[in-house]
Amino acid sequence: MSIDITFFTVYTEFMNRFKIKKADVLIAAAVLIIAAAVFLCTNLLASDGGKAVVEKDGNVIAELPLSEDAIFEVEDGGTVTNVIEVKNGKVSVISASCPDKICQNHRAVSKSGESIVCLPNKVIVNIEKGDREVDGVAR
């Protein structure tokens, strides 16, 4: 008596046991392909940012060009809560007074639309495109 286990028999047993239909597999594959395409498009086609906009309590307190290295201190009541560094075209939080330090451990950002958020200190760093050009229609 020989045991003949092939991929097809294992596949058929799995499909029958869990009542999975071929359409379910096709839908799952389509969702994975679409998710991968969206991920690749957003990462590969994202444009480099031109400036970092720093907000505190919903108010813009600084606009830092990514082309110039700089350090900016965010203060609250005379106390420095966050230190933001622009270096080599990327922005990061190098110091934070918050207990969890999530913003400080966040990777440096440089692409338009990326952000770093410090919820306890109410600080948001958004990356935006540089100066917007006005076209002939808007004039």
Model-level pTM? 0.67
- Is residue 74 within 8 A of residue 80, CB to CB? The reply is yes
Q: Could you give the count of Cα atoms lying within 13 Å of 59 in the half-sphere of its Cβ?
A: 4
Q: How confident is the prediction for the chain on average, in pLDDT?
A: 88
- Measured in residues, the chain has a length of 139
pLDDT band of 131, cuts 50, 70, 90: low
Indicate the burial class of 116 (C-beta count within 10 angstroms; 0-12, 13-18, 19 or more): buried
**pLDDT at residue number 94:** 97
pLDDT for 139 beyond 50: no
- The proportion of the chain whose per-residue pLDDT surpasses 70, expressed as a percent, equals 91
CB atoms within 10 A of CB 17: 8
Tell me, what's the pLDDT at 14?
81
3 CB neighbour count, 10 Å cutoff: 4
Distance CA 110, CA 125 (A): 11
> Tell me: the pLDDT tens digits for 46-84?
788 889 999 999 999 999 999 999 999 999 999 999 999
Which of 22-26, 70-74, 92-96 comes out lowest in average pLDDT? 22-26
pLDDT, mean of residues 84-97: 96
Using the predicted structure, report yes or no on whether residue 28 has a pLDDT greater than 60.
yes
Q: What angle do CA 31, 33, 16 make, to 5 degrees?
A: 55
